[in-house]
Amino acid sequence: MGTKARDNTRTLLALGAAAALALTLSSCSSGSGSSGGGAKSITLITGVKSDPFYITMTCAAQAEAKAKGVGFTADGSAQWDVSVQRPLIDSAAAARPAGLLVSPVDTTALTPSLKQIQNAGTKIGLVDTSVTDPSIGITRISSDNVKGGQVAADALAKQMGEKGSVIVISVKPGVSTTDDRIKGFTQGMAKYPGIKVIPTLYDNDLPATAASQIQSTLAAHPDLGGVFAGNTNTAQGIATGLKQAGKQGAVKVVAFDAEPDEVTALKANTIQVLVAQDPAAIGAQAVDQLVASFDGKPVTASIGTTMVPITQQNMNDPSISKYFYKAAC
């Protein structure tokens, strides 16, 4: 995503289940209650509340807040849109929590609102996504997307036997998270002289476009051995296109994230590798940093969390399966 500006890389996997997932998130985060009895409270506002990435983050943040004895509430945007998230931030400003964790859906548009909250005394932590103004937030915690791209490159090169052509299909240029993934992937593939990297294609987050693009690429590059999908929707489209072309499993696919639908695709071998982020660590560490600030202790300004390649061979290992994202707490 994701990406998670968190932009459009955080895919709206809820679809028909959106209402159910939103209800689950609501029950997880207990919008009116606190998870702890402390005088201090933390509010979390995520990018898309029905996304398993953010549900996983929220569950971990809630558990950590309870362990630390601070109050906790959470909400999130129904969709990736400034006009949807801004009222949630304004509501948090009115409540004046001691701490606010937020995944801003835009790098600049929400800065004035966040600055106003910060100036009023609320400690702000940016989770997953960030804003360009460096004065906002005492801590920023997210995945290292460049590193994630490098992890994807190594995993895909191994799947391909370090030979053939490879292509990246992503959402659109100018998105910070996916741009960083492509950068890391390109850097990583430079270590493999037997692999030719074909210029990146962009599908505007449309699976049908990705399906068409992979089929056209196959026609132009018969030696295509692998594809890196920048996000979940892209991976779904690529898998469909390869299946239609009779190349499912022959052309290896590496995709970002480990949401339930993607894990199912991994089991079915329509995707060979998932590069999982660690949204639970993002949520828990963000709470820890705010609590440290409440107590006058040192705060880490920037934290990059783990990226883990998941395959059919290691997915049942408890040390790996713990990175699967949750659809509910």
Give per-residue pLDDT as tens, 259-271. Answer: 888 898 899 898 9
Closest of 88, 98, 91, 89 to residue 120, by C-alpha: 98
DSSP-derived 3-state class of residue 199: strand
Give yes or no for residue 198 having a pLDDT over 70.
yes
Structure confidence at residue 7 (pLDDT):
40
How confident is the model over 221-259, as pLDDT tens digits?
999 999 999 887 888 899 999 999 999 899 999 999 898
pTM value? 0.77
Structure confidence at residue 130 (pLDDT):
86
Phi, psi of 29 (to 5 degrees): -95, -10
Side chain identity at 200, as an amino acid letter? T
Structure confidence at residue 50 (pLDDT):
86
Give, in words, the CATH class of 7-143+278-306: alpha beta
Q: How far apart are the first and last CA of the chain?
A: 21
Structure confidence at residue 39 (pLDDT):
67
Closest of 242, 293, 300, 303 to residue 272, by C-alpha: 242
If one counts every other C-beta atom within 10 angstroms of the C-beta of residue 219, the result is 10
And the tokens for 174? 């100018």
CA-to-CA distance for 241 and 263, rounded, in angstroms?
19
130-139: long-range pairs with CB below 8 Å, 24+: 130/104, 131/104, 131/106, 131/107, 132/107, 132/108, 133/108, 136/111, 138/289, 138/290, 138/293, 138/299, 138/301, 139/286, 139/289, 139/290, 139/293, 139/299, 139/300, 139/301, 139/302, 139/303
Domain ranges of the chain: 7-143+278-306, 145-256
Give yes or no for residue 6 having a pLDDT over 70.
no
Torsion of CA 277, 12, 141, 97, to 10 degrees: -140
Task: Please state at what angle helix 232-244 crosses helix 207-220, rounded to 10 degrees.
Answer: 50
Which residues of 132-258 form beta strands (DSSP E)?
139-143, 164-170, 195-202, 224-229, 252-256
Helix (H) / strand (E) element for 94: namely: helix 82-95
User: For strand 273-276 and strand 308-310, is the pairing parallel, antiparallel, or unpaired?
Assistant: antiparallel
Please check whether residue 124 is in contact with residue 287, taking contact to mean a CB–CB distance below 8 angstroms: no
Torsion of CA 116, 29, 255, 188, to 10 degrees: 50
Give yes or no for residue 281 having a pLDDT over 50.
yes
How confident is the model over 160-175, as pLDDT tens digits?
999 999 999 998 887 6
Q: Give CA separation, 245 vs 218, 232, 250, in Å.
A: 9, 20, 11
Structure confidence at residue 162 (pLDDT):
96
CA-to-CA distance for 129 and 264, rounded, in angstroms?
27
Least confident of 62-66, 104-108, 216-220: 104-108
Give, in words, the CATH class of 145-256: alpha beta
Structure confidence at residue 51 (pLDDT):
85
Helix and strand numbers, DSSP H then E, in the chain:
11, 12
Structure confidence at residue 129 (pLDDT):
86
Any idea what the Cα angle at residue 322 is, between residues 320 and 326, rounded to 5°?
135
How confident is the model over 203-230, as pLDDT tens digits?
987 889 999 999 999 999 999 999 999 8
Give yes or no for residue 31 having a pLDDT over 60.
no
Please list the residues that pair with 253 across neighbouring strands.
227
The DSSP letter of residue 302 is E
Sign of the four-CA dihedral 56, 61, 64, 66:
negative
